[in-house]
Structure 1
Amino acid sequence: MTTAEEHEVANVTPADLDALEQRLAEVERYLHVDERRGRAEELERLSAESGFWDDAEAARKTMAELSECKSTVSTVDEARTRLSDARAALELAGELSGDDAAELVAEAAASTAALTRSIDAMELSSWFTGEFDHGDAIVTIKPGQGGLEAQDWTFMLFKMYMKYCARRGWKVTINDCPAAEQIGIDRATFTVEGKDAFGMLRAEAGVHRLVRISPTDAKKRRQTTFAMVEVIPVLPDDIDIEVSPDDIRVDVYHASGPGGQGVNTTDSAVRVTHLPTGIVVTCQNERSQIQNKAACMAILKARLYELELEKREEKLDAIRGPKKAAGFGNQIRSYVLYPYQMVKDLRSGVETSNVDSVLEDGDLDPFVVGYHRWATGNAASESEAGDQGHSDVAE
């Protein structure tokens, strides 16, 4: 056991468990667990009826809702069991001494750590109230200010997000990732499939700033570089965006991947340009033009939907956050590799000096959770301020 783990074990107290029980009770209220438990029983009865699968699409939606309800209830029940186990182990440890007591305290600490992680995840999920937060996401990374360095920085971010998605067990489909002429990549677009993918990843939307010694500068001078990350939701099947064939231009070309390697030997890569808006989407992951065009159209429709929301509601924040130039003064997070090492989110204040864990290992959860906690707190403060304003007016 490491020193840090020994310290954690020694500090597990009944008060810690009381605090976790209070958090768990709050999460249960946020997630309406009792309602979901009842809904799951209702859906199970419905799914057992004869003729349930006669309408396959309706049945699929019902089973998806049932799975979601059961998953939430199961997660809460498991958390309750961990809390009970931790309390029992800690109480029994107080009646014993020596190695037996130490073993029980260690067991309580392990249950407490697992319980804390579970509650953190449930709290985070409860913050996702947007229409698409629990669905899949389309992520695009583009170079900003910094020339060649920005293209290399774009590739570094791309690799970081690949590691992050792997850590969370999400499926990633790389739609487009062409190599730049000298270093890095021109851009990257990929689709992420998994629980709460869009809700989690929208924390990453914005300008990312890198400060380091330039690997391309013979004089080894410090360089500041920027890249833009955009995150939009994958639209559900029941949202249909009409795109007229006359409004698009389709070009095909030879596919290539990061590092300049050829993906295949045919002109399978597809570029779709939406003429009325100027939106350009490229895909080259699949082996056929037909598949790549289908992927392009899915991304194009998602972007057109986002654009329509912007026009209708006059605020892009609802989906992607404010649109800003990828340059000085607009960054949401800074990654400093020289003269010191630090990754800091400028919105939430979350920071770490372990830059390798972030860039090399994709350990982004502290930043993602920190952002959503910050955003939720801001929303609550604004709501309270609004309520106070209405009260003042009434008086």
Structure 2
Amino acid sequence: MEEISDSFLCCICLELLYKPVVLCCGHMSCFWCVHRSMNGSGESKCPICRKSYIHFPSICEALHFLLVKMYPEAYKKREIQILEEEKKIGTFSPQIDGHMCHQISEEKLNGSSQSCESAECSISANAVSSCNVVIQEEDSPEIWLNKNSKQISKSDLLCVSCNQLLFRPTVLNCGHVYCQSCLSIPANEKTKCQECESLHPGDLPCVCWELDHFLEDQFPEEYSVKRCEAKSKGIDSPSESSKAYTLGNCKDDEQHDSLLLLKTHFAVGCDYCGMYPIIGDRYKCKGCIEEIGFDLCGDCYKSQSKLPGRFNQQHKPEHKFEHIKLRANPNYLLSLMTGIISSGGYAQFEIATNSLSSVPNPPADGAEDSELDLALPLVFDAIPEDDLSETEET
């Protein structure tokens, strides 16, 4: 039986991480667990530290292949479990390139004592070079830990930039991992990933400390050298690496939050950068037939990027987009002017909405200008496509 480290258990489902994503605060969760926990009407919060974020991160492939290599049986079982759930909802998580080295025999999955054959995995040099997974018959935790320890090599966890063993690993929104010291934000610009050239939204993310501790335990000598090098350069600063992540240049004030609501496409996310919900311009693909759709925020639409969708959609470059505009309910505008939404941003908006919606309907012969008219739901409606949608080519 595989002994799974607590460091690689999802903080939401409490099972082995599957297709792990790393939030801007550095905490790890499963792809679907993060998506289901996000708030479709505003900022989401990490379930552990409660730091705010608004971008759904891409899968961290380096972590994905590390877990495949360390826990082949458990990861295969998780794959089967999640695939069944995806079939039920008709939406699938992204496929990850490379041959999966978790080809576990059905006999072993069913508890048989037969050992499965080795499976060779050939993938990107930045993820895993090659591995031979041999499943042993013994169930001793020590045997599993020793076996997994021998499987992992420094080449499995290299920085995208310096191509050396990761130190203070930091995961960008695109899922690629860097040493903290290898990342920087250019003046008046956004950080761009050297691997996929995706722009990272907001400030630099925090260090993924669980992965950092794993690296230190797995490669103590190499990590000690890296720490000494960092100290000599004056860049080993835990307090700096632990600073709170902020949402770009957004000011956390009441007026700003209220204005954002006027531009929010509730429960719709960008399939490139992961902004959820989309704030500002929204472009919807007319060619993608998947139920979950394919949408882009204004910045990603203008970038003409060719990244794959967040949910394995079969999007093609020749597909056309339509510009979806929002129409604000006049009751919401009135509530802003009368001070109903005076503080608290998104949270206060929800409270105001629920309170107003619970007010009883006015009598049939009530006056036209009754204040109870404010009991109408404060929602945004997408303008019918026939009226205000505009079709554009990518």
Q: Same fold (TM over 0.5)?
A: no
- TM-score of the pair, normalised by structure 2: 0.19
- By percentage of residues, which structure has more helix? 1
